Amino acid sequence: MEPTRAHAEQLDAADPLAPFRSRFAGTDEEGPDRLLYLDGNSLGRMPLATPAAVTRVVEQGWARGLVGSWSRWIGAATRLGDQLGAGVLGAAPGQVLVGDSTTVNLYRLLVAGAAARPGRDVLVCTADDFPTDRYVVAGVARDRGMVVREIEADVDEGLDPAVLAAALDERVAVVVLSLVAYRSGALADLAAVTRAVHDAGALVLWDLSHAVGAVPADLDAAGADLAVGCTYKYLNGGPGSPAFLYVRRDLQAELRSPIQGWFGQRDQFEMGPEYVPADGVERFGAGTPPVLGMAAVEVGAALVAEAGVDRLAAKARAMTDLVVALGDAWLAPHGVALASPRDATRRGAHVTFAHPRAWQLTQALVDRGVVPDFRTPDRVRLGPAPLYTRFVDVWDAMARFRDVLEDRSYEAYPTERARVT
C-alpha cells in the first residue's frame, strides 16, 4: 500500500527523537515551500548550541586565557575521543583520538598496520570504495613495494562476503573497507568481516565516515582493529571538522605512526632530540590539535550520544523504508531504479536511485527546494539524517521528486558534460 502523508505524520507523532529537531538551525521553517534537506550524509545541520560553544573558546579561552588555556586544551584530542568512544563508537577509553582529516588518519593507520604485518605484501580494498580510500591504499602500496588487490563489490548491494573470503590469504596485510558504502548505502557486517580478516592473519581498517552517528559501530564488541571517520556528516561537527581514529588497545604498543609529531611524543615538553612514541593512542597524535573545530564536534557528538545510536539507527531504517516505498510507487514508473539494498537491515541511513539523467534530476530537485546529492555515474542520493529530519519531510521531498519526473522539467537542465565544460 502506498504510504500517505497522514501515515508520515503519525510516524512523527510517535517519534521519540522528534524533540531533537528544534535543537538544530534551519528546522523551524514550515509551509509547502520550505527547504527539504536530505543531504545530512554529506554535511549535517548546525546544532544551535555550536556558535556559543565555539565563541566560548574564542572569547574566553583564546582572547582572555591566551597561552594559559593550553592546560585545558592539551588533552582535548583524547578527552573528546573518549566521549566519542563511549557515546557513539562502542569503544572503551584510551582508544579514540580526534584530529586531522579522515585521509590523514587513514594513511597513518594503514602504514602502521602494514608495517605490523612483515612478510605480507598485499593490501585489499574494494573497487567501488570511496575514492580517497583507494587513493591512499594505492599510494601506500607504491611507497612500500606492496600490491593492491582490488575486489569487486556490487555498486548497489555492496560487498559479498564470499568475494572477500576468496581474496584473503597469507599475503594480505591490511584490508580497508567502508562500513557503509558511500554510493549505495550498503551496510557491511562489521563483526563477521572482522572475524574473516582475522582468520587470515590480517588487520582490517574500517572507514566509518558514512556510518558513525547513524548506525551502530560497536568497535570493541566486534573486535575491530583500526577505524577512521569524519565528524561533519551525522555528527554535525561542521565543514572540515576534525576526524577521528580508533586503535584497539592491545594493538597500540606494536603499531607506530609514520607521522612522528610532537603530540605523539612520550615526553612532549622535554623537547628531546629523539622521537619516542607515547604509550597509548596518543602515539598517533601529530601536530597541535584543532581546538576550535573540536569545540564544534563536541556539541554534535553529545547530541548523538544523548539521542542514542540504536534509536537513531531504528529511525533511519524507518525513514529509508519510507523512501523505498515511495520510490516504488512514484519513481519506478518513470524509469527510476532503486540502487540500494531493499532490506533495511543491510542499509545505512541513505538511499540511492539510478536514472540516466540523474545529474539533471538532482539540479531540478534543488530548484524545487529539495537538497539531495549526485553520485557518479547516474545516481541521486537521499540522506535523511534521523536526528533532525521528519517523516513528513521525507514524504514531501519524494512528492516533489515525483512532480519533477511527471512534468519532465528536469529535461531543461544541462547535462553533467555541459556543466563540466
As annotated, the active-site residues are 130, 207, 232-233, 381
Q: Distance of CA 340 to CAs 263, 372, 386, 387, 398, Å?
A: 42, 15, 18, 21, 16
Sheet containing 226-229: order of strands: 96-98, 244-247, 226-229, 203-207, 172-178, 122-126, 147-151
Helix (H) or strand (E) holding 220: helix 219-222
Cβ-in-10-Å burial (0-12, 13-18, 19+) of 7 comes to: middle
| Contact residues for 402 (Cβ-Cβ < 8 A; gap 6+) | 326, 330, 331, 334
Q: What's the number of CA atoms in the CB half-sphere (13 Å) around residue 333?
A: 10
Say if residues 15 and 391 touch (Cβ distance below 8 Å). Answer: yes
C-alpha grid cell, residue 408: 519532465
Residue 316, classed as helix, strand or coil, is helix
Helix (H) or strand (E) holding 143: helix 131-144
Distance, first Cα to last Cα, the chain: 44
| Contact residues for 397 (Cβ-Cβ < 8 A; gap 6+) | 36, 38, 365, 370, 372, 382, 384
Alpha helices in 290-339, H assignment, sequence order: 291-307, 309-326
Residue type, 101: S
Q: Distance of CA 173 to CAs 112, 119, 151, 167, 271, Å?
A: 11, 8, 15, 12, 35
C-alpha grid cell, residue 263: 603530540
| Contact residues for 325 (Cβ-Cβ < 8 A; gap 6+) | 2, 3
The rounded distance, in Å, linking the Cα atoms of 251 and 116 is 9
Say if residues 149 and 293 touch (Cβ distance below 8 Å). Answer: no
